[in-house]
Amino acid sequence: MAEYTTIDTAVHEDISRKSAGETVLRRTPTYRSSPYNAEISALLRHLMENNGSRRAEILRSLRKVLKKSGGQLPDVDRMEFFEAFYHMVGDSRWKVACECTMLIVDVIPQMGDHDLDPCMLVVLPRVIPNLGHESTDVRRATLRLLHVYMRYTNNLQKVLRMYVQYGLQSTDKNAQKGCILSLPLLFTEEFGNENLFPLVESLGNLLVDSEASLFYPVFLAIQRLHSLVGNETFRQYLQNVNPEAVMLYHRVLSRNSTANSGRNENTDFNDIQNNNTVAIDKLITFGDTKPFDEFLKSDIEETTNGTENPVPFKPRPLFDAEFALRYGVFPPAALNRVLSTKLAEKNEGIHQILSVLRDAPSNHISALIPYLDAFMEDVVNKLVEHPNFKVTLYGLDMVEAVIERLKLSTQSFIKPIVKVLFKRLGDCRAVVREHNVKILHRMMFHFPPQHVVECILEQKYHRNPKIREEVVNRVTSALLMFPRTEFDLFKLCYEIAPMLVDTKRMVRLASLECCSVLAQALGHHRLAPLMAAVEATETGSGSEGLTNAVQARLSRRDLPRCNPDGTIRYVLNPMSFSGWFPSSADADLEWVMLASATNSGTPPKFPSINPSTYYFHPRQRNVKLNSYSVKAQPPSTNNTELSDVPLSSGDSGKSELSSSEPVNILDFQTQVDSTSLVGFV
């Protein structure tokens, strides 16, 4: 296996041959003539002469002509052009690099065996690092180029050694990460019979020495090679790999329930796992720790030296308390960086924590569940409250990652999660508010919407009027996004009604819009709970005119809209209310304008309403109440009752609902179109 471990360190020398005065002899094969040869030669000449902004355009034209000619290059010095391609592939303009890469892809199938490998060895030192390019198009083109070349080359081992040298062992972290992530895509089943030991050896070293964010990508890359070559060949590879890397691989494989191979091998590692408390922290950060056998040996020596009667041997944990995983999942070094006062260290630690949350196996992440409450309070809460808004966004990313990975397991922790999110729901920066709203909406898709809404409504007494407004808006958006069968509408009526007498205009406005959606969800024959809650609020607070305001809003027969970013587009526009000679149809706007326009002050004292006092039997809730006819009608309604006029999301004549069927809020396609849910699914 010694021949496998030899890494070719030769660097391309042909690029500097002209300056050294060397004479290079090449065989120039004879290719069949093509009517496009003159045009291709002219474009190649322009490509060599032009090194400005037109280079990408020339490359694009050259690709088109080559496609017409079947990929045949004219009788030219190919090595000279590949030396030019060497610089173009590494061009700082991503379009030039992408077009040049795709041009090489088009040329490879038509090149002869005698000049393909020498020409490709010229550009590979620049091509391989492009797997970590910032442009997605360049990365995709590079992956395609390498895959095509590996199918046509006569010296795959040379390609593998260059992949290791310029990719896996590169000092450029972006190039190294790109090569690791691309490896499972690059090596498909057709390479299963090839010698892939150079890759396994290099990945084994990375498994021990790489940073935390690369550990799981490296492990998955090794597992991919394992599945390609099979158990027997892979076992031979491991005999010549760093022993510490072998131990790490088997330990994480025994933990990973999704592994497809190697589970039943090396049962001694399972015994080690059963007797000791360490596992994933060794794998994430402590690559320089001694192997487990050395710990056992040192324990035995300590128990026997200097004593005539040695005490019975008792294996100790692989790590002391200072190395134990924090919250059951995270390495202590990463958490120490997260809590650092230095912003650079804090960001580095945050990225390591996020990489664990997003990439760790599911059975490892599940160890966080018993400590989730403490993790949210001690770590995430501090990040969300940080004055730097980027750190705040990272904290929200952690909340989102926890919800996505644990899903139903976090249902009992909805309240602390919502409490953390509401700390920034009234933030002055739109990007923070939108991220908050996005997470709340995703929670409604993972958990019962009614449960999430109830936790949100617990914040309706917040001092900040902006947060009180958002509480109502989240209820409105939930009613617009989910079927009414997901909610206890009777309870929501008595939760929202007190918000109508808030001292701030925007809270009143949001509450009136929410009442219109509640009325739509209840159905035009089932408004008794809503109107009873409104009347109880009016009586309890002494706010005369509240019922008229709600009826005026319902008579508009128009619903608010939920924008793709989660914000609510109101129907009412208080700015259009002049205040001169108000009509009964503007009672809702008049009610909004009676409140204060400022966002400061103490929160209002909402009237206490006992729903049991106004309890409706389930059958009685469906009774049509003529007593709640619309008192404030626009001129066009001719005093028609609300129960006889359907609510719509646009013009009154465009959407009508049958009075004999229950109303489903999702039936309003003109109100909640498919675009309103973008970003929340």
The dihedrals phi and psi of 491, each to the nearest 5 degrees, come to -70, -40
- The per-residue pLDDT for 656 is 34
Instruction: Write the pLDDT tens digit of every residue in 232-259.
Output: 898 889 888 888 888 888 877 766 533 3
The four Cα atoms 302, 306, 311, 312 give a dihedral, to 10 degrees, of 50
b/e map 372-387, b = 16+ CB within 10 Å: beebbeebbbebbebe
CA distance 75 to 32: 9
Q: Alpha-carbon distance 249 to 252, whole Å?
A: 5
Predicted pLDDT of residue 544: 86
When comparing pLDDT for 449 and 617, which is higher?
A: 449
Ranked by mean pLDDT, which of 13-17, 79-83, 383-387 comes out on top? 383-387
* DSSP-based three-state secondary structure for 590: helix
pLDDT over threshold 90, residue 62: no
pLDDT (tens digit, 9 = 90+) per residue, 426-448?
Answer: 888 888 888 999 999 989 988 89
Residue type at position 635 = P
Question: What pLDDT does residue 314 have?
Answer: 38
**Range with lowest mean pLDDT among 31-40, 60-69, 214-223:** 31-40
Neighbours of 596 (CB within 10 A): 14
Range 369-374 average pLDDT: 89
How far from chain centre, in Å, is Cα 413?
21
Q: Note the residue count of the chain.
A: 681
Give the whole-angstrom CA distance, residue 386 versus residue 381: 9
Query: Residue range 441-462: average pLDDT?
Result: 90
* Rounded distance between C-alpha atoms, residue 218 and residue 210, angstroms: 9
| Cα separation values, 598 from 139, 501, 602, Å | 52, 15, 11
- Band (pLDDT 50/70/90 cuts) for residue 35 is low
> What percent of the chain lies above the pLDDT cut of 70?
66
Average pLDDT along the chain: 73
Task: Match 């550990």 to its residue by tokens.
Answer: 215
Q: DSSP strand E in 213-357: where?
A: none
pLDDT at position 584: 64
> pLDDT band at 610, cuts 50/70/90?
low
Q: Provide the pLDDT confidence category of residue 53 given band limits of 50, 70 and 90.
A: low
- Phi, psi (deg, nearest 5) at residue 77: -80, 100
Confidence of residue 306 (pLDDT cuts 50, 70, 90): very low
Q: What is the mean pLDDT of residues 605-614?
A: 56
Residue 63, pLDDT score: 77
| Higher-scoring residue by pLDDT: 84, 509 | 509
Q: Which residues sit opposite 562 in a β-bridge?
A: 568
Q: What is the Cβ-side half-sphere exposure of residue 398, based on CA atoms within 13 angstroms? A: 30
Mean pLDDT for 7-29 is 38
Copy the structure tokens of residue 44.
């190649």
Domain residue spans in the chain?
2-23+31-186, 337-676
Equal fold, 2-23+31-186 vs 337-676: yes
Q: Are 493 and 453 in contact (CB under 8 A)?
A: no
Cβ(593)–Cβ(549) under 8 Å? Answer: no
**Cβ distance 92 to 55 under 8 Å?**
no
Maximum average pLDDT range among 36-40, 106-110, 200-204, 216-220: 200-204
- CATH fold group of domain 337-676: Leucine-rich Repeat Variant (1.25.10)
CATH 1.25.10.10 fits 2-23+31-186, yes or no: yes
Write out the DSSP string of 335-367. Answer: HHHHT-SSHHHHHHHHHHHHHHHHHS-HHHHGG
What's the confidence (pLDDT) of residue 394?
Answer: 92
Task: Give mean pLDDT, residues 407-420.
Answer: 84
